Amino acid sequence: MNAAQVLNGIALGSLLMVLSSGLAMIYGLRGVTNFAHGALYMSGAYIAYSVSLHVSFWLALVVVPVALALIGVVLELVFFRPLQNRSHIELGLVTFGLALIAERVVVLIWGEKTLSVDPPPGLRGTTSLFGVEYPTFRLAIIVAAVVMAVALVTWLRRTRTGLYIRAASQDLETAGIMGIDVNRISLIVVSLGAALAGLAGALAAPYVSLDPGMGDTFLIIVLIVVVVGGVGSIAGAMISGMALGIIQTLTTVWSPSVAVVVPYVALVVVLLWRPQGLAGRRV
């Protein structure tokens, strides 16, 4: 096993970390299993494609999270808030329908052809690290994910809004009774969760290829990451995302066919052994 393979695992884990933290945030607070999360990720990648093509990838890293945050505001105000007293399955079906709509909208705007995005000039080629030449863009993804994780955890732990989010994620009704504006908190969380999905899409655009079904590939894996991490636990999702990325990549080196089932095995093992997930209900 060489250092490059470990870095491959960390790079994939970084992408899963960013994507799953947004899903975990929304589930933790709203209790919504957002099946549209993969579509948000895909939309982020396609918007990043257009911004990169016409302006620059660096601008895409700013524009995409902002655009997806606005979509998150719409999700919260039009769907999640009015339907908050409906059953989980109903809300899940709504988000699933939204995902299908998003896929068709992407086809209408960008077409069915597979697209690709080049890394920005400063992040092309390789960089020497631990004695191996490793793609600079993958290293940038790892750095971006670490910065995001540190910023998110600091924000949740050190700020008043973060305190409210943690409180509301534990018990929304009691948090409301205690005077927390849960609607405002939900709006922040859903828009931030969507923004993170968009950021993951923008980071993934030069990493993978773009097609309208790209969100589906990741959705199931990210749902598993969130369940394994502890449903609603942001830190748990980050840790399990990183762990799954590394384990799956290293298993691929040994046997690609076995690596495909690693997430599902992890899901079964965790549900049997620790159904509350690795981090339980700790946000």
Q: Which residues bind to another protein, rule: CB under 8 A?
A: 2, 4-5, 8, 11-12, 27, 31, 33, 35, 88-89, 92-93, 96, 100, 107, 111-116, 118-119, 124-126, 133-138, 172-173, 206-214, 216-220, 223-224, 226-227, 231-232, 249-250, 252-253, 256-257, 260, 267, 271, 277
Buried b (16+ CB within 10 A) or exposed e, 100-134: eebbeebeeebeeeebebebbeebeeeeeeeeeeb
C-alpha span between 45 and 142 (Å, rounded): 18
Least distance between another protein and beta carbon 120 (Å): 12
Whose Cβ is closer to another protein: residue 36's or residue 69's?
Answer: 36
Nearest alpha-carbon partner for 73 in 185, 200, 188, 172:
188
Whose Cβ is closer to another protein: residue 4's or residue 70's?
Answer: 4
Least distance between another protein and beta carbon 95 (Å): 10
Least distance between another protein and beta carbon 276 (Å): 9
Least distance between another protein and beta carbon 65 (Å): 21
Whose Cβ is closer to another protein: residue 66's or residue 268's?
Answer: 268
Least distance between another protein and beta carbon 209 (Å): 4
Reduced to 3 states, what is the DSSP secondary structure of residue 184?
A: helix
Nearest alpha-carbon partner for 234 in 25, 13, 18:
25
C-alpha pair distances (Å), 199 with each of 42, 47, 51, 213, 271: 10, 11, 13, 18, 29
Q: Given the structure tokens 């719409």, which residue do they identify?
A: 74
Least distance between another protein and beta carbon 25 (Å): 13
Report residue 156 as tokens.
């949740």
C-alpha pair distances (Å), 12 with each of 69, 101, 128, 139, 157: 24, 28, 19, 11, 26
Whose Cβ is closer to another protein: residue 66's or residue 143's?
Answer: 143
Whose Cβ is closer to another protein: residue 8's or residue 191's?
Answer: 8
Whose Cβ is closer to another protein: residue 128's or residue 158's?
Answer: 128
